[in-house]
Amino acid sequence: MTDGLDSTGQRRYPTMAALPPKVDLGFLPTPVVAVPRLSAAVGGPELLMKRDDLTGLAFGGNKTRKLEYMIRKALDQGCDSVITAGAAQSNHCRQTAAAASRCGLDCHLVLGGGPPKRPEGNLLLDRILGARIHWGGARRKGEDIPDIVDRLRAEGRSPFVIPYGGSNELGACGFVEGVMELESQIDTTGISHIVFASSSGGTQAGLMVGRACVGGSFKLLGIQIDKDPGPGGEIPRDTIVDLACRTAEAIGCGTRWSADDVLLDDSFSESGYGVVGSLERDAIALTARTEGILLDPVYTGRAMGGLIELIRSGAINRDDRILFWHTGGTPALFPFGDALLGP
């Protein structure tokens, strides 16, 4: 990691004012809560939780922060619609559909797979929110977006493309802001790790840039959710570094990173994206039964399962103080009912 110095030799720490303009879509700041009964149940360190499941936009989640910046750009450019992509149970797509409705834009979603008999969970919400669904089969990461954009333009429309997962240097600003927000809520000097589910990388990249901006000392540990490469075959760690550097550059933050600076634990993604096993099931049940807090089956259930494993194996120890960033996803609990109740 290198820290850029300005002409007077000072480190450059951008503030909230350096961030691009946005629209307000979420109820921010989201709460930070202690989860002492969960901490005790895992015999481990003190645990806090940042409740981005409560951002409030049509059941909330981490994509709301990214969308505040991207939707603003779509509006500023005079676009009349947005298009993005994800899995059939994508939380990103559901929040994009809600944001579009809120701002008077049409929403096109390119979803993996094909139409189910009955839409459930996030897909049901996409439909209620009025999104136009395009089924992409095996292509769930936006491979079909350029063709659909061409078609929409030919019809005289003006679509704004939001990348897979909302992960570009504009979306990542949402998590730069997220760290500044956290810093205004609690003293982070006692936090050893912030742990979260990492997939398309925008959350992790934004958190890295945010940490540089506030001069934070905590480690950022992403639990890798998806073992497949990105839409263009990218390796997650490279995507995150590249995005963090581009985001830092865009907002005038002098810090730069290399792949070694990215803490991304890939030991829990082997079963594949969206596959619920005992790791996720047990973590969801334990968090629900000790704290009354619902995690989701695809992301936060896996990330919490990973964190619990790391505590049990001693990789994270009793003296650590952990903040788990709850990134949302709870509407996906419903279609995963059978897997969650177990055999």
Binding residues for ligand PLP, per CB under 6 A? Answer: 61-63, 91-92, 165, 167, 197-204, 296, 299-300, 327-329
Verify whether residue 90 is a known catalytic residue: yes
Q: Which of 7, 39, 81, 90 is catalytic?
A: 90
- For ligand PLP, give the closer residue by CB, 152 or 241: 241
d(CA 10, CA 176): 20
Q: Mark out the alpha helices in the chain (DSSP H runs).
A: 36-41, 63-76, 91-103, 121-128, 145-154, 173-185, 202-214, 236-251, 278-291, 300-312, 337-341
- For ligand PLP, give the closer residue by CB, 136 or 171: 171
Query: Which residue of this chain has its Cβ atom nearest to ligand PLP in the complex?
Result: 329
d(CA 155, CA 171): 28
Q: How far is the CB of 274 from ligand PLP (least distance, A)?
A: 11
d(CA 146, CA 222): 30
Q: How far is the CB of 95 from ligand PLP (least distance, A)?
A: 8
d(CA 146, CA 51): 35
Give the H or E element holding residue 51: strand 46-51
Residue 50: C-alpha distances to residues 34, 53, 151, 199 (Å): 9, 8, 41, 18
Q: How far is the CB of 5 from ligand PLP (least distance, A)?
A: 30
- For ligand PLP, give the closer residue by CB, 180 or 264: 264
- For ligand PLP, give the closer residue by CB, 61 or 216: 61
> Is 111 in a helix, a strand, or coil?
strand
Q: What residues are labeled active site?
A: 90
